[in-house]
Structure formats: structure tokens, C-alpha cells
Amino acid sequence: MTYSKDFAVKLKSSGYKLTPQRRAIISSILSSERSLTPQELHSSLVEKHPQIGLVTVYRTLELLNRLGLLCEFQPQGSARSFKAGPAEHHHHLVCRGCGEVVDFTGRCPIELKTSLERETGFLITDHQLEFAGYCRNCRGK
Amino acid sequence: MTYSKDFAVKLKSSGYKLTPQRRAIISSILSSERSLTPQELHSSLVEKHPQIGLVTVYRTLELLNRLGLLCEFQPQGSARSFKAGPAEHHHHLVCRGCGEVVDFTGRCPIELKTSLERETGFLITDHQLEFAGYCRNCRGK
DNA sequence: ATGACTGCAAATCGTTTGCACGGTA
DNA sequence: TACCGTGCAAACGATTTGCAGTCAT
């Protein structure tokens, strides 16, 4: 919540301005515990800030993401969405039926499949684990 | 490779025909150890089968996938791709630099980050684990 | 004035759909 | 004859780009 400060500081220290639009977008992201798609974010903003364009939302998300302030989700078969927080690590549980995404970041091992099923009532049919980074060739930039 | 039989059997037993186009698509998928995007698949086919449309590739992939004959990949930031094999379980290692995708399906625990780095030369910066299935409401169909 | 930031419209990319034709049961 | 499968063109949804106007330094 008071992350807000971090966002502002990081933006400024990286040479970017904290415009009203960016402020609105950031505050909207921070006040949602769910991750939001660009569209959802835009819709939620239009009420109070009718003039904000979807394009600006995309550009801001791209910027914040690049600065490491956002966590980008893209579960198989679902829309791309973002939430506040560092990006290095997130886990989700997706419903292939209704698309619900349950975030369980913080818990790791794959053995938790069974306990997840017990706790959430999900019937888990498959999973996907993705590590990302830089390969031997790309490491040295 | 001689999976080919399985594909044919499954198709027929599910009430679908094994057309020349489908045969070509299946054989192309089976002969690649990499996972392929619809576009890549189409390009690779056009040489020998100039008349196959991209749409047919999409429709066939969708069909085979629905029959459980394919494994669908969609790493964060990469294109959607498919390879032969059951879908319930796959792991990949993606290079954020060049897009290379290393498949390491078969090995599970997250603790393998370090050993993966050692073995592949990757610098791993983040990961994502996704379980999917059906939530309490969707389980009963 | 300069450069950053924005909004709009148009372009692009991957994917899906509508439709009419062709082959086969 | 009735369908299934196909190709083509068009529709679509998400995202990106070009461009010209605006704002703050």
C-alpha cells in the first residue's frame, strides 16, 4: 500500500516522471490484491479519470514492469495480467473451467499438489513449472 | 516416432478422419523434438504440401490437443507451441534473451534451480509454477 | 524551445469464424 | 444425399506503433 513511495522513488530515480496518469494507474494496481489485465485496469480507471487511454495503461505497465516493480502473470490459456510486487517468483492455481486464478506465491514444492487440492477443493489435472533467465550465450549481455 | 499409430488410432476411435493434411501435420509434429508454433509447423509443411492452410493447422492442433495427444506450451513472453506427448506435466527453462526453451520435463522439485544452473549454464532469475485443473464449482462439470 | 508523455487512429500479430466447395460414406 | 474436412477471406482481440498536440522544465 505505502509501496506507493517505492514506485514514485524508483520512477524518478530512473529518470521518469510521475504524471497524474501514472499515479492513477499505480494506485489502482496497489489497491488491488488480484492481478489485473490491462483492460481491467483501464476500465477501473475510466470512472475517475475518463481521459486515460488504454494505450497509456499498456505503456505504463511496460515501464513499471521493466523497472521491476510489477509481477507479470500469464497462466496457460488465460489473459496476461499484472500485480504489484517483485517478479522473480510466483505461483498460481488456474481453473480450466472458469478461469479463476488463485495465487499461492510463497509456497514452493511440487509435492504440495495434494495439499492444495485438499485446501482449495480444486481437482488438479496438470501443472507447469517455468524457470527463466539467461542462457550461457546471453548471460554476458 | 511410431507414436504415429497412437495418433491414428485415437483419431479414428474418436470419430475423426485421418486425412492427408492431418497425416502430414502429425508426422511433422512427431519428427520434431522441439515444440513448434502453429506458424512454424505450417511453414515446415508448405514445402511438401503447398496446399495446406494455416487454418487447418490450427484446427488440427486444437483437435489433437483436445484428444490429449499434444502437450501445449506457453512460456511467459514466448509464443504458444505444441509437441507430441501427454499434456499433464511439463517444465521448461526459457531464455529471456534469445527465447530458447529447454525442456526438462521429468524432473520436478524446485530445489533443482541450482543444479539446472550448473548443468545448463543458465542464470536463472525467476520462475513460475502453474497448477491447473478444476475448481470446486467446476469439478462437477 | 526541448524533450517527455499522452491520446487517437491505424497497423500488426496470433487466432477464430463464416461460408461455400469437394470428397466420401 | 448428408457430412466432414478444407481453404479462403474476413472478423477479432490483444498489443504495438506513428504521429501530432500538450505539458513541464
Q: How many CB pairs under 8 A join A and B?
A: 180
Half-sphere exposure at residue A24, Cβ-oriented, CA atoms within 13 angstroms: 19
**A88-141 adopts what CATH topology?**
Dna Ligase; domain 1 (3.30.1490)
Global pTM value: 0.82
How far apart are alpha carbons B41 and B25 in whole angstroms? 7
A13 CB inside 7 Å of strand C: no
pLDDT score recorded for residue B130:
81
B59 CB inside 7 Å of strand C: yes
What number of H helices and E strands is found in chain B?
Answer: 6, 5
* H or E segment and range at residue A9: helix A4-13
Name the one residue in this structure whose C-alpha cell is 496438470.
Answer: A126
How is residue B126 written as a grid cell? 525467476
Q: Nearest residue to nucleotide D17 when comparing alpha carbons to its C1'?
A: A55
A56 CB inside 7 Å of strand C: yes
Task: Work out the angle at residue B84's Cα, subtended by the Cα atoms of residues B102 and A136, and round it to the nearest 5 degrees.
Answer: 10
More confident of the two residues B88 and A31: A31
Tell me the pLDDT of chain A averaged across its residues: 84
Residues of chain B with a CB closer than 8 angstroms to some CB in chain A: 72, 74-77, 87-98, 100, 108-111, 113, 116, 120-139
Longest dimension (CA), chain A: 48
Of B72, B127, B137, the CB nearest to A89: B127
- Which nucleotides of chain D have an atom under 7 angstroms from any protein CB? 4-9, 14-18
Backbone φ and ψ for A128, nearest 5 degrees, come out as -150, 130
pLDDT score recorded for residue A125:
80
How is residue B15 written as a grid cell? 470419430
Q: Nearest residue to nucleotide D15 when comparing alpha carbons to its C1'?
A: A58
| Number of C-beta neighbours around residue B124 at 10 A | 17
Q: Give residue-wise pLDDT tens across range A88-125.
A: 667 777 776 666 677 776 666 667 788 888 888 888 88
List the B96 CA – C2 C1' distance (angstroms).
35
List the beta bridge partners of residue A37: none
Determine, for residues B125 and A136 on separate chains, whether the beta-carbon distance falls below 8 Å. no
Closest CA to A83 of A40, A131, A134, A43: A40
* H or E segment and range at residue B82: strand B81-84
* H or E segment and range at residue A94: strand A89-95
Domains B1-85 and B88-141 in one fold: no
How far apart are alpha carbons B97 and B43 in whole angstroms? 24
A105 CB inside 7 Å of strand C: no
**B1-85 adopts what CATH topology?**
Arc Repressor Mutant, subunit A (1.10.10)
Q: Give residue-wise pLDDT tens across range B30-74.
A: 999 888 999 999 999 988 898 899 999 999 999 999 998 998 888
List the B37 CA – D10 C1' distance (angstroms).
23
Q: List the domain boundaries for chain B.
A: 1-85, 88-141
β pairing state of A89-95 and A81-84 = unpaired
Q: Is B92 annotated as a binding residue?
A: no
pLDDT score recorded for residue A54:
96
Task: Work out the angle at residue A127's Cα, subtended by the Cα atoms of residues B15 and B105, and round it to the nearest 5 degrees.
Answer: 90
